Structure 1
Amino acid sequence: MAAFEKTPGWLDWCAEPSRPAFRLPEGAVDAHCHVFGPGARFPYAPERKYTPCDASKEQLFALRDRLGFTRSVVVQATCHGADNTAMVDALRASGGRARGVATLRPGVSDAEVAELHAAGVRGVRFNFVKRLVDAAPLEDLRDVAERIAPYGWHAVVYFEAADLPGLRDFLLSVPVPLVVDHMGRPDVTRDPEGPAFGAFLDFLRARPDIWCKVTCPERLTAAGPPALDGERAAYRDVVPFARRVVEEFPDRVLWGTDWPHPNLTGHMPDDGLLVDFVPHIAPTAELRHRLLVANPARLYWPEAR
């Protein structure tokens, strides 16, 4: 695969997203987004599973401002492997308006962790999605978790619903808070009150420091891309799942765009329409403030509280 040749079929992000009908509360945080390259400056990892389009920090910040967010949490993209340079560059250019989630290898030095912390990193990501990364030994991940614990970081964990039973005991043993990406990727064709999603909720109940991102309806939907209507309603089949999490765990939920939407098939979402998903899953002003402002501030900017 050539260094800058996009993976065939790769969908580029929406260059002109609509302005959301829903006005974000002051201080809102996009708690899950990425930067890709640009590859000419920040080369993609040789072991990557895909080559994306470029998506720079300047473009991310422009989207932040267009949608009405105040701050961002930039999550290390798998296409960059454990080279966190592009993500850290975005943090340093943000003027304190961004925090980061890194990818680290076992044996990472305390000096490197300290340098990342100074740049604004506050978490490490463990990715268990087999089509995106090669499996890492669980003990290696435990080593990383123990190294970040003194800094007050958390572990962002990305897995698919079918894999949770095999990961549950390990995840519950990780000695730092957990943040689950994308609601553990539930099958939204099933009953949100049924046993499959119930098992995921039981996992969230198992520890009081397990958080959940109610993100990526565009990935989870089985109904396909939404049609704009008078309410700008989007991804209705995902709403009952996300709303259940928000209402049961109001102080442990986060939301983000997932821009620029890596490895998405079927359709590329309008990010303005994604923002308009929020009132459907957080139906009161109080829930929306916790989801978008208070919770991410408590997790990523505790010193400012």
Structure 2
Amino acid sequence: MNNSNEAREPKRCAGPDRHTRPPRFQMPVGACDCHAHIFGPQAQFPYSPQRSYTPEDCTVDDYIKLLATLGIDRAVIVHGGAHGTDNAATLNALERMGPRARGVAVMPPGCPLPERERMHALGMRGYRLSTVVGGGVGFDQLEALADEAQQLGWHLVLHFKHADELVSLLPRLQALRVDIVLDHMARIRGDEGVDSPAFEALASLMDAGRAWVKLASLYRLSSQPYPHADMLPMIHRVAKHWPDRIIWGSNWPHPICDVSMPNDGDLVDLIPLWVPDVAVQQKLLVDNPAALYGF
């Protein structure tokens, strides 16, 4: 019986490296971290009983301090799976951070329009669907959420567990009439690369003009240590061919991190390696987030 109970206990996550190294790379004015989560404090915003992991409290105050250290002006709070479909912690973060912040919700279809309009006024701009975390919303709700997203000009964020899910989902995605964001570069691993069926599916969506690639959490997809050189061919390909459709995110506080916990200063210093062209850096960090999230 004890072993059974332990098996059902959500996995406890290591917290982030709280000694953030100031990066050498200087962010441009208006730069945006397009992927971060706020967790807790649990005393105010309890975690979902259906969650698949238990993170440390990683609060709005913690995150604002991180942004200051990294030199980042704007942020997108992606609702974290530990809170399930109760978006209160993320909405509170948006209210606290004001016009510099936007959000992505995790919620099933059916929320009344006035409530969604209230969320929009606070900065919500999309829905996230995931096959990675428990207690959230899966791709069975794809079309229904796309219909609701279209009403307010929102987009869909797709969080895959495996890159081959993108290939299977491709016909349904091609039929949508809303923008989609491929979280973590659609989870395509460095050892799969630009010749993989998943990258071909990504390219077809990008060519159609409704998809965006999020360069975040790529340290999980590499088979090599920092600076994760095996990811560069894919990163350079998307930056060259679709510079107006790429965005960057820290993935702070790095929940469910199954590799060495990164320091966020080190992640920022990868940006000029990924995108050496200063004009494309401006698109990646400032112009593209402003267009997608309405800054």
Give CA-to-partner distance per residue, 1:147-198, whole Å, 9 cap, x none: 2212111111111211112111112222311111011111212343455523
- Partner residue of 2:118? 115
Counterparts of 1:278-297 in structure 2, within 5 Å, are 278-297=271-290
Give the conservation status (yes or no) of the 8 Å contact 2:107–2:136: no
2:272 is the alignment partner of 1:271: no
Describe how 1:97-246 pairs up with structure 2 within 5 A.
97-129=100-132, 132=134, 136=138, 138=140, 140-159=141-160, 160-193=162-195, 195-205=197-207, 207-224=208-225, 226=226, 234-246=227-239
- One-letter code aligned to 1:278: I
Amino acid at match of 1:283: P
Q: Distance in 1 between matches of 2:228 and 2:275?
A: 14
**Cα gap change, 1:105/1:55 in structure 2, threshold over 3 Å: closer, same or farther?**
same
Matched residue, 2:11: 7
> Structure 1, residues 5-64: CA drift from partner, whole Å, max 9, x if none?
9834x2210111111111111110001111011111100111111111110000011101
Instruction: Verify the 8 A CA contact 2:85 2:107 in the aligned structure 1.
Output: yes
2:64 is matched with which residue? 61
Give % identity: 37
TM-score (norm 1): 0.89
Letter in 1 for 2:75: S
Judge conservation of contact 1:74–1:101 (CA < 8 Å) in 2: yes
Structure with more helix by fraction: 2
Q: In the TM superposition, what is the alpha-carbon distance from 1:134 to its structure 2 partner?
A: 6.7
For 1:171 and 1:192, the matched residues in 2 are separated by 20
Give the superposition deviation at 1:89: 0.5
Distance apart, 1:103 and its partner CA: 1.0
- State the Cα RMSD in Å: 1.9
Deviations 1:181-234 (A, max 9, x none): 0111112123434555233322322x212111022122111114x2xxxxxxx2
For 1:152 and 1:63, locate their aligned partners in 2 and report how far apart those are by CA, in whole Å: 30
Structure 1's consecutive aligned runs of 4 or more residues displaced over 6 angstroms after TM superposition are: none
Cα distance in 2, alignment partners of residues 46 and 6 from structure 1 = 9
Contact 1:235 1:277 in 2 (8 A): no
Distance in 2 separating the partners of 1:97 and 1:35: 15
| Distance verdict in 2 for CA 1:188–1:254, change over 3 Å | same
> TM-score, normalising length from structure 2?
0.92
> Letter of the aligned partner of 1:164 in structure 2?
L
Secondary structure of the 1:198 match is helix
Secondary structure of the residue aligned to 1:204 is: helix
Which of 51, 55, 72 is the matching residue for 2:75? 72
- Distance in 1 of aligned mates of 2:278 and 2:203: 24
Measured in 2, the distance between the counterparts of 1:91 and 1:68 equals: 19
Query: Could you give the per-residue CA deviations for residues 219-262 of structure 1, whole angstroms, max 9, x where no partner exists?
Result: 111114x2xxxxxxx22221221121111110010001000001
1:298 maps to what in 2? Answer: 291
**Number of the residue aligned with 1:231:** none
1:154–1:134 Cα change, 3 Å: closer
Identify if the C-alpha distance between structure 1 residues 144 and 196 changes in structure 2 by more than 3 Å, giving closer, same or farther. closer
Instruction: Confirm or deny: 8 A CA contact 2:129 2:136 kept in the other structure.
Output: no
User: Quick check: 1:6–1:53 contact (8 Å CA) kept in 2?
Assistant: no
1:106 counterpart SS class:
coil
Structure 1 unmatched runs, 5+? 227-233
Q: 1:7 is matched by which residue type in structure 2?
A: K
Report the CA distance shift for 1:258/1:134 in structure 2 as closer, same or farther (over 3 A): closer
Q: 2-side partners of 1:191 and 1:295: how far apart?
A: 24
Instruction: Give the conservation status (yes or no) of the 8 Å contact 1:214–1:245.
Output: no
Tell me how far 1:128 sits from its aligned partner: 2.8
